[in-house]
Structure 1
Amino acid sequence: MAFLFIAVLLLLVFYAIIIAYYRNSWRAIPDYQPKNMLIPGIKFSVIIPARNEEQNIGRLLDSLQAQSYSRELFEIIVVDDHSTDATANIVRQYNDVKLLQLKEDGINSYKKKAIEKAIAEAQHEWIVCTDADCIAPPDWLLAFSSFITDHEPVFVAAPVSLIPFKKKNSILYIFQALDFLTLQGITGASVYKRRHNMCNGANLAYKREVFYEVDGFKGIDKIASGDDMLLMHKIWKRYPDRIAYIKSKEAIIETEAAPIWKAFFNQRIRWASKATSYDDKRIFVVLLLVYLFNVSFLVLAVASFFEIVYFFGLIIFVVLKTIIEVPFVLGVSRFFQSKIL
Structure 2
Amino acid sequence: MRRIGVVVPARDEEQLVERCLRSVMRAAEALAQSDAPAEVVVVLVADGCTDRTAAIARSIPGVEVMVVRAAGVGAARELGARRAIARGCSWLACTDADSEVPSAWLVEQLRLESLGWDGMIGTVRPDFADLTPTERDHWLATHHRGHPNGHVHGANLGVRTASFVRVGGFRALAEHEDVDLVERLRASGAWLIASDEVEVTTSGRRTGRTAGGYAGHLRRVTAMLGDMDPAVV
Matched with 1:47 is: 7
Matched with 2:79 is: 117
Q: Deviation at 1:132?
A: 0.6
Matches within 5 A, 1:203-282: 203-218=156-171, 221=172, 223-239=173-189, 242-248=191-197, 251-258=198-205, 263=206, 270-271=212-213
- AA matched with 2:184: K
TM-score (norm 1): 0.55
- AA matched with 1:96: G
Q: Residues 160 and 184 of structure 1 are in contact (CA less than 8 Å); yes or no, is this contact kept in structure 2?
A: no
Q: Residues 47 and 129 of structure 1 are in contact (CA less than 8 Å); yes or no, is this contact kept in structure 2?
A: yes
1:82 maps to which of 36, 44, 48: 48
- AA matched with 1:161: R
- Percent same amino acid among aligned pairs? 22
Question: CA–CA distance in 2 between the matches of 1:96 and 1:269?
Answer: 32
User: Are 2:144 and 1:144 equivalent residues in the alignment?
Assistant: no
Matched with 2:23 is: 63
Q: Residues 128 and 206 of structure 1 are in contact (CA less than 8 Å); yes or no, is this contact kept in structure 2?
A: yes
For residues 277-297 of structure 1, give each alpha carbon's deviation from its aligned partner in whole angstroms, at most 9, with x where no partner exists: xxxxxxxxxxxxxxxxxx9xx
Question: CA–CA distance in 2 between the matches of 1:229 and 1:183?
Answer: 20
- AA matched with 2:46: D
- AA matched with 1:75: V
| Larger Rg, first or second structure (1 or 2) | 1
1:163 maps to which of 113, 122, 127: 127
Q: Residues 125 and 202 of structure 2 are in contact (CA less than 8 Å); yes or no, is this contact kept in structure 1?
A: yes
- AA matched with 2:152: C
For residues 209-253 of structure 1, give each alpha carbon's deviation from its aligned partner in whole angstroms, at most 9, with x where no partner exists: 2222112234xx3x421121111001100025x0112231xx111
Give the unaligned 5+ runs of structure 1: 1-39, 192-197, 273-294, 296-300, 302-314, 327-341
User: Are 2:160 and 1:200 equivalent residues in the alignment?
Assistant: no
Query: How has the CA–CA distance of structure 1 residues 270 and 177 changed in structure 2, closer, same or farther, with 3 Å as cutoff?
Result: farther
Question: CA–CA distance in 2 between the matches of 1:138 and 1:64?
Answer: 8
Secondary structure of the corresponding residue to residue 228 of structure 1: helix
2:65 maps to which of 88, 99, 104: 99
Q: Residues 77 and 170 of structure 2 are in contact (CA less than 8 Å); yes or no, is this contact kept in structure 1?
A: no
Question: CA–CA distance in 1 between the matches of 2:177 and 2:143?
Answer: 17
Query: How has the CA–CA distance of structure 1 residues 244 and 96 changed in structure 2, closer, same or farther, with 3 Å as cutoff?
Result: same
Q: Identify the structure with the greater helix proportion.
A: 1
Q: Deviation at 1:102?
A: 1.2
Q: Deviation at 1:181?
A: 7.1
Corresponding residue pairs, total: 213
Give the unaligned 5+ runs of structure 2: 215-223
Matched with 1:135 is: 100
Question: CA–CA distance in 1 between the matches of 2:103 and 2:18?
Answer: 16
- AA matched with 1:163: D
For residues 103-136 of structure 1, give each alpha carbon's deviation from its aligned partner in whole angstroms, at most 9, with x where no partner exists: 3x5x6xx011111111121120111000111112
